[in-house]
Chains A and B, each alone.
Chain A
Amino acid sequence: MTVMTKFLRGPQRDKLAIREELESHLEERVRDLMVGGQSETVAARTAIAELGEAAEVARRFEDARTQPRRRLAMNLGLIGLAGGAMIMSLVAMTQPGGRNGASVYRPERPDAKDAAVEGRRFDVSFTNESLVDAFSWAGQSAELTPVVSWKAFEAWGVSADTQVAMNAKQVTLEQFFTLLNEGAAIEGARYDYRVRERTLEIATTEYFDKREIELVCYDISGVLPVHRPDLEAMTPVEMKHRDQQLTEELVGVITSFVYPETWRDNGGLYGMSVVGSKMFVEAPRRHHHQIRWVIEQFLDRGDSGAASTAPSTEELPVATPRDPVKGAPAGTAAGGRGR
């Protein structure tokens, strides 16, 4: 807790209040765990592990403390929306095919999963194997050299010696990690991997997320009523309210359904700002696939104007059983409603 307080910024009074609140929480949690049968030592360790890494929690507090500045940026964007009907029309006219297209800035290009590697299958039979041996076996079976970021697992209390039990036949690398995650029974834990030049990189999903952040500018002018023929009769004031409502709804849906816990407002790392008819989203690649889809749903609000429903030319996400939302549009596009 002392370490955490050192990481915190802001007035001393606020830091002490946070410390007091967290200590109170930990005390009660330890008491409850002990009532549940844990020894005091184990209960204390569990409660502290649940709190997470001190620096990370302090950063979340810092985000909460400074968030009015971000909100101001967004509100300025909304004012821009209200006053910028003409400008938005211009944007719409100059970007006829790109209303819901996205220009992407990629600080780093992550490698896609290797199809040849994904197709390779192997048996696993671990009773009390160490995690390092399990990773070595997976790497060897997929003919890859494993490189593990052990530091990424520290917050979970996981190390190379952590015991693993797993029994399955003919699994792919992806299935191996799915089984590992299902068997881990650590709250929030998610082992993940990337294949890069015959190397099997192993870390957490959060680790790869941070590495694969993309700042994407979405053109959301098609979401706004100025482009809706059925709403052209609106007064400027009505239009302003409608603009704000639609933008808030869009942001609300994204932060509610696209990996909700990862957004800054919900204690996560990633954020977005609306400026005029542009929505800037800084988030990992896996988020953007879903965000594109959500924006498309907003564009398709029963309006018959073809212009506002211009489809994205970007590749839609591939359906996976674990991610039905992400997969919905692609699945429908390929084999859904016949013409």
Chain B
Amino acid sequence: MEPELAVLAVLSEESLYGYAITKAAAARSRGEIKLGPGVLYPLLAGMEKQGLILSTWEAVKADPDDEAATGRRRKWYRLSAKGRKRLEQRIKAHREYHAMMEAFLEGGSGLGRRAEGAKEVGS
């Protein structure tokens, strides 16, 4: 599955930070979708640049019980309106493609005729 589609899909439900996106995508696909960090973070950077997602930083305490303890920051991502639109387009394209493949495999599309044409010209 395309990584961008996976990210759009998991972020359509809730705001998440990078590692949580990886885990959500894996959980949602029963472990089939593995978004490695080397792909995920450049992808998120690109999607943010395109305005598909928005981000905010949140401080994470090193020690939850210690008010003064400062820890890392975490970057949370959420879907923008543009991202939501992109997701809808991708889902539509995905479904159309599969419908086309189904029709093709059942032999009911115009593809057979097209392919015959290809054979005639190629022969």
A interface list, Cβ under 8 A from B: 17-18, 20-29, 50-53, 56-57, 60-61, 63-65, 67-68, 71, 187-188, 248-249, 252-253, 255-257, 260-261, 265-267, 296-297, 300, 302, 309-313, 315-316, 325, 328-329, 332-334, 336-337, 339
Contacts and interface: CB of A to CB of B under 8 A. Distances in A.
B41 A21 contact: yes
A67 B115 contact: no
Given A296-B114, A332-B112, 16 more contacts: A17-B75, A18-B41, A20-B72, A21-B18, A21-B41, A21-B75, A22-B41, A50-B38, A51-B38, A255-B2, A257-B97, A260-B2, A309-B117, A333-B116, A336-B115, A337-B115
Majority secondary structure, A binding face: helix
Given A65-B49, A297-B111, A336-B112, A25 B41 contact: yes
Given A28-B19, A261-B39, A337-B113, A311 B118 contact: yes
B38 A337 contact: no
- Give the 6 A-B residue pairs with the shortest CB-CB distance, closest first: A64-B46, A52-B38, A60-B42, A337-B112, A260-B2, A311-B118
Given A21-B18, A252-B93, A311-B118, A336 B38 contact: no
B118 A248 contact: no
6 contacts: A21-B41, A53-B38, A63-B42, A252-B89, A266-B43, A325-B101
Contact of A256 (B5, B72, B104, B113): B5
Contact of A266 (B2, B75, B113): B2
Contact of B97 (A188, A256, A329): A256
Contacts, number: 160
Nearest to B48: A64
A169 to B, nearest CB: 31
B119 interface: yes
Contacts of A65: 45, 49
Nearest to B89: A252
A117 B104 CA distance: 34
Given A256-B5, A309-B117, A313-B122, A64 B112 contact: no
Interface of B: 1-5, 17-19, 22, 34, 36-43, 45-46, 49-50, 60, 72-75, 89-90, 93-94, 97, 100-101, 104-105, 107, 109-122
Contacts of A64: 42-43, 45-46, 49
A52 B40 CA distance: 12
A267 B2 contact: no
Contact of A60 (B1, B39, B101, B112): B39
A332 B110 CA distance: 11
A24 B110 contact: no
Given A260-B3, A337-B107, A25 B39 contact: no
B91 to A, nearest CB: 10
B3 A61 contact: no
A30 to B, nearest CB: 11
B36 A52 contact: yes
A202 to B, nearest CB: 23
Contacts of B19: 24-25, 28-29
Contacts of B50: 67-68, 71
Contacts of B75: 17, 21
A311 B122 CA distance: 9
Nearest to A332: B115
A253 B99 CA distance: 13
Contacts of A311: 114-115, 117-118, 120-122
A212 B107 CA distance: 34
